Amino acid sequence: MREPPPGLGEDTVLALVREHWLPDATTAVHLPLGFGAWHWQVDLGYRPTLVATYDLPTPARPRSVLDDAYAATADLAFALDAVVAPLPSTALTPTVDVPGQPGVLSCTPWVHGEPGRYGEPMTDDQAESTARTLARLHRASPPRRLPTWSTAVPSDLTGRLTTSLDDDASWRAGPLGTIARRLLAEHRDAVTADVEEHSRLLAEVESTRERWVVTHGEPHRGNQIDTLQRTLLVDWESVRLAPPERDLRWLPDPAAAGADPAVLRLVELEWRLDEVAQYALRFAGPHPGGPDDEIALAGLRDALADD
C-alpha cells in the first residue's frame, strides 16, 4: 500500500518486530508498494534483514486461514527453493496481534534481488522459469495446514450491487464514489452475465477436486523477485489446494502448460468478480481518495474492461 495504515507507525512496528522476531532490529521503514497489505523494511544495523507485513483479516479470509496459509508455506519452503516463507514468531505462531489494531503482523526474510511489478509481462525466460516452478509446486504433497480454495464471489453479488447502486448517498461519502458508481452502473448487465456463468462453472469445477493441487494463487510478476540463482515467489497468503489453473492463468500461454479452458475461464471470472465486489464495497462508503484509492479505482476499471 502506498500509504501507511492509520494509527500504525514505524515505532510500533519496530517494537513488535523486536519483541517477536528480531530483538536487535534497528529500524522499520514503511515501503510504499503492493496492494492489500502494508510492508516495512526492517534493518539490522546497515543491512535490510526482514520484511514486516500487516494484514487485515476479513470474513472471507479470517486470521485462522491466514495463519494456516503461512504455516503451510513454511512447510513448502523445505521442499521448494523458490518459496519465500514467513518466519515463526518467538511464540512459534505465523502472525502476532497488533495492540489497538484489527490486523496482524508477520515477518519474512529480506530477499536481495530485483522485484517484478504487477502487470509487467513476463519475458520468455521468466515465463519458462515460472512454469517450471509452478510444475514443481503442483507436484508437491499438500502441507498439513494447507487451506482449501473456495470462491470469494458472493452468490448474490448481482442483488447486492443493484441494492448498493440504488443508494446514491453512500457513494457520495468519498471523492471517488460517484465515478465508481457510474462505472459499475454502465457494466451492470455484463457483471450479471459473468455471475451467472461463474455460478455454472463453479458447480462443475467443485466436482473435480481429485485433480486439485497446491497453488500459490497469484504468481504474477508483482509477487516475483529475480535473484542471480533463480526467480522466487513471495506473498503466500493466497496459497490453497485448488485447480492448477488458478496459477496457470498468469502464464503467457496457459494452454501450453495444460490448462483446461473451462476451468481457466472460471478462475478468470473469479478474479474479476472478486475485484468488482471488493472495490464496490470500498467506494460505496467513506474513503479518503488518496493514492491507494486511486489504485483501487484503476483496478475497478481494469476488472470491468475485461467484460
Convert the pLDDT of each residue in 102-161 to its tens digit: 999 999 999 999 999 998 999 999 999 999 999 999 999 999 999 999 999 988 999 999
Contact status, residue 183 vs residue 301, Cβ threshold 8 Å: yes
99 and 138 belong to one structural domain: no
Residue that is last in its domain, among 110, 133, 163: 110
Of 218, 36, 71, 49, the residue nearest 134 (C-alpha): 218
97 and 119 belong to one structural domain: no
Contact status, residue 131 vs residue 257, Cβ threshold 8 Å: yes
Secondary structure (3-state) at 72: helix
Higher pLDDT: 11 or 34? It is 11
Helix ranges (H only) for 78-176 are 124-139, 157-165
138 and 285 belong to one structural domain: yes
94 and 121 belong to one structural domain: no
What mean pLDDT is reported for the chain?
Answer: 94
Q: Cell 469445477 maps to which residue?
A: 205
81 and 198 belong to one structural domain: no
pLDDT in tens, 187-228: 999 999 999 999 999 999 999 999 999 999 999 999 999 998
163 and 303 belong to one structural domain: yes
9 pLDDT above the threshold of 90:
yes
Which CATH number does the domain housing residue 208 bear? 1.10.510.10
Q: Is the Cα dihedral 146, 151, 152, 156 positive or negative?
A: negative
Residue that is last in its domain, among 110, 126, 155: 110
Residue that is last in its domain, among 110, 127, 161: 110
pLDDT at 164: 92
Higher pLDDT: 208 or 59? It is 208
117 and 101 belong to one structural domain: no
Q: ∠ at Cα 243 (142, 269), nearest 5°?
A: 140
Contact status, residue 25 vs residue 18, Cβ threshold 8 Å: yes
91 and 158 belong to one structural domain: no
**Who's near 24: CB < 8 A, 6+ residues apart?**
18, 44
39 and 50 belong to one structural domain: yes
> Which segments of the chain are extended strands (E)?
27-31, 38-44, 47-55, 96-97, 104-109, 114-115, 213-215, 224-226, 231-233, 240-242
Which CATH number does the domain housing residue 45 bear? 3.30.200.20
74 and 119 belong to one structural domain: no
Mean pLDDT across 67-90: 96
163 and 106 belong to one structural domain: no
The parent domain of residue 102 ranges over: 1-110
Amino acid (one-letter) located at 90: T
155 and 225 belong to one structural domain: yes
Query: What is the Cβ-side half-sphere exposure of residue 45, based on CA atoms within 13 angstroms?
Result: 1
Q: Distance of CA 162 to CAs 19, 181, 198, 199, Å?
A: 47, 11, 18, 18
Number of separate domains in the chain: 2
Cα(165)–Cα(171) distance, rounded to whole angstroms? Answer: 8
Model pTM? 0.93
